[in-house]
Amino acid sequence: GQQVMQIPQYQHVQEGEDFTTYCNSSTTLSNIQWYKQRPGGHPVFLIQLVKSGEVKKQKRLTFQFGEAKKNSSLHITATQTTDVGTYFCARGSFKTIFGAGTRLFVKA
Partner 1 sequence: NAGVTQTPKFRILKIGQSMTLQCTQDMNHNYMYWYRQDPGMGLKLIYYSVGAGITDKGEVPNGYNVSRSTTEDFPLRLELAAPSQTSVYFCASSYSPQATNEKLFFGSGTQLSVL
Q: Which residues bind partner 1 (CB under 8 A)?
A: 6, 33, 35, 41-45, 48, 88, 92-101, 103
From the CB of 46, what's the least distance to partner 1, in Å?
A: 9
For partner 1, give the closer residue by CB, 84 or 100. Answer: 100
Nearest approach, Cβ of residue 100 and partner 1 (Å): 4
Distance CA 30, CA 55 (A): 15
108 burial via Cβ count (<10 Å: 0-12, 13-18, 19+): exposed
Nearer to partner 1, 68 or 97 (CB): 97
Judge contact between 25 and 5, C-beta under 8 A.
yes
Measured from the Cβ of residue 22, the count of other Cβ atoms closer than 10 Å reads 18
What single-letter DSSP state applies at residue 37? E
CB of 78 to partner 1, least distance (A): 26
CB-nearer residue toward partner 1: 48 or 62: 48
Among residues 77 and 98, whose Cβ is nearest to partner 1? 98
Taking the complex as a whole, the smallest distance from the CB of residue 16 to partner 1 amounts, in Å, to: 26
Q: If DSSP codes are grouped into helix, strand and coil, which group holds residue 81?
A: helix
